[in-house]
Amino acid sequence: MSTNKSKFRLRIFKSKKHIYAILIDDNSNKVITSSSTISRNIKEDVKKFKNCETAKLVGKNIGMKLKELGIEKIIFDRGKNLYHGQIKSIAEGTREEGIIF
Protein backbone atom coordinates (compact mmCIF):
# COMPACT_ATOMS: atom_id res chain seq x y z
CA MET A 1 0.00 0.00 0.00
CA SER A 2 1.30 3.41 -0.87
CA THR A 3 0.99 5.86 1.99
CA ASN A 4 1.56 8.87 -0.29
CA LYS A 5 -1.59 8.47 -2.39
CA SER A 6 -3.92 6.97 0.19
CA LYS A 7 -5.59 8.68 3.09
CA PHE A 8 -6.01 6.51 6.13
CA ARG A 9 -8.30 7.56 8.97
CA LEU A 10 -8.20 6.09 12.46
CA ARG A 11 -11.79 6.30 13.72
CA ILE A 12 -12.39 5.96 17.45
CA PHE A 13 -15.74 4.68 18.70
CA LYS A 14 -16.82 4.25 22.31
CA SER A 15 -19.76 2.18 23.49
CA LYS A 16 -20.93 1.84 27.07
CA LYS A 17 -18.61 -1.13 27.71
CA HIS A 18 -15.92 -1.11 25.01
CA ILE A 19 -13.68 1.15 22.95
CA TYR A 20 -12.79 0.54 19.29
CA ALA A 21 -10.08 1.87 16.95
CA ILE A 22 -10.85 1.28 13.26
CA LEU A 23 -8.52 2.12 10.36
CA ILE A 24 -10.43 3.19 7.25
CA ASP A 25 -9.04 3.82 3.76
CA ASP A 26 -10.94 6.93 2.67
CA ASN A 27 -10.14 6.41 -1.03
CA SER A 28 -11.85 3.01 -1.21
CA ASN A 29 -14.10 3.43 1.88
CA LYS A 30 -12.97 0.09 3.28
CA VAL A 31 -11.91 -0.99 6.76
CA ILE A 32 -8.25 -1.99 6.69
CA THR A 33 -7.74 -3.18 10.28
CA SER A 34 -9.11 -2.62 13.76
CA SER A 35 -8.42 -3.13 17.44
CA SER A 36 -10.71 -3.00 20.44
CA THR A 37 -11.18 -4.11 24.01
CA ILE A 38 -12.85 -7.27 22.65
CA SER A 39 -9.81 -8.22 20.53
CA ARG A 40 -8.32 -11.55 21.64
CA ASN A 41 -4.85 -10.28 22.56
CA ILE A 42 -6.20 -7.32 24.58
CA LYS A 43 -9.11 -9.15 26.19
CA GLU A 44 -6.67 -11.58 27.85
CA ASP A 45 -4.60 -8.76 29.43
CA VAL A 46 -7.36 -6.64 30.98
CA LYS A 47 -9.83 -6.95 33.81
CA LYS A 48 -11.78 -3.72 33.22
CA PHE A 49 -12.72 -3.10 29.63
CA LYS A 50 -13.18 0.64 29.53
CA ASN A 51 -10.48 2.67 31.25
CA CYS A 52 -7.43 4.70 30.22
CA GLU A 53 -4.94 1.86 30.67
CA THR A 54 -6.96 -0.42 28.43
CA ALA A 55 -7.41 2.39 25.88
CA LYS A 56 -3.63 2.80 25.74
CA LEU A 57 -3.28 -0.94 25.05
CA VAL A 58 -5.77 -0.59 22.19
CA GLY A 59 -3.72 2.34 20.84
CA LYS A 60 -0.47 0.39 21.01
CA ASN A 61 -2.09 -2.62 19.36
CA ILE A 62 -3.46 -0.60 16.45
CA GLY A 63 -0.09 1.16 16.15
CA MET A 64 1.69 -2.19 15.78
CA LYS A 65 -0.81 -3.28 13.14
CA LEU A 66 -0.26 -0.03 11.22
CA LYS A 67 3.52 -0.51 11.28
CA GLU A 68 3.09 -4.06 9.95
CA LEU A 69 1.04 -2.62 7.06
CA GLY A 70 3.70 0.03 6.37
CA ILE A 71 1.46 2.95 7.32
CA GLU A 72 3.23 5.79 9.13
CA LYS A 73 0.82 8.74 8.76
CA ILE A 74 -2.89 8.76 9.55
CA ILE A 75 -5.75 11.13 10.27
CA PHE A 76 -7.01 10.78 13.86
CA ASP A 77 -10.83 10.91 13.91
CA ARG A 78 -12.17 11.11 17.46
CA GLY A 79 -15.73 11.79 16.33
CA LYS A 80 -17.75 13.77 18.86
CA ASN A 81 -15.53 12.65 21.73
CA LEU A 82 -13.39 15.19 23.57
CA TYR A 83 -9.63 14.75 23.39
CA HIS A 84 -9.00 13.61 26.95
CA GLY A 85 -9.20 10.45 29.03
CA GLN A 86 -9.57 7.32 26.92
CA ILE A 87 -9.32 9.14 23.58
CA LYS A 88 -6.06 10.78 24.64
CA SER A 89 -4.75 7.41 25.89
CA ILE A 90 -5.44 5.76 22.53
CA ALA A 91 -3.64 8.61 20.76
CA GLU A 92 -0.64 8.36 23.10
CA GLY A 93 -0.42 4.58 22.67
CA THR A 94 -0.54 4.91 18.89
CA ARG A 95 2.11 7.64 18.88
CA GLU A 96 4.39 5.51 21.07
CA GLU A 97 4.44 2.98 18.23
CA GLY A 98 5.77 5.68 15.85
CA ILE A 99 2.56 6.61 14.03
CA ILE A 100 2.29 10.28 13.05
CA PHE A 101 -0.91 12.33 13.10
Q: Could you tell me the CATH number of the domain that includes residue 61?
A: 3.30.420.100
Structural domain contains residue 1: no
Question: What amino acid occupies position 71?
Answer: I
Spatial distance between the Cα atoms of 46 and 29, rounded to a whole number of angstroms: 32
| Residue span of the structural domain in which 28 resides | 8-96
4 has a pLDDT exceeding 60: no
Distances (CA, A) of 59 to 5, 27, 39, 67: 24, 23, 12, 12
Angle at 94 between CA 11 and CA 45, to 5 degrees: 95
Spatial distance between the Cα atoms of 93 and 99, rounded to a whole number of angstroms: 9
43 has a pLDDT exceeding 50: yes
For the chain, the domain total comes to: 1
pLDDT score, position 81? 94
* Model confidence band, residue 2 (pLDDT cutoffs 50, 70, 90): very low
Q: Comparing C-alpha atoms, which of 93, 92, 43 is closest to residue 64?
A: 93
Give percent above pLDDT 70 in the chain.
94
Structural domain contains residue 81: yes
| Radius of gyration, alpha carbons of the chain | 13
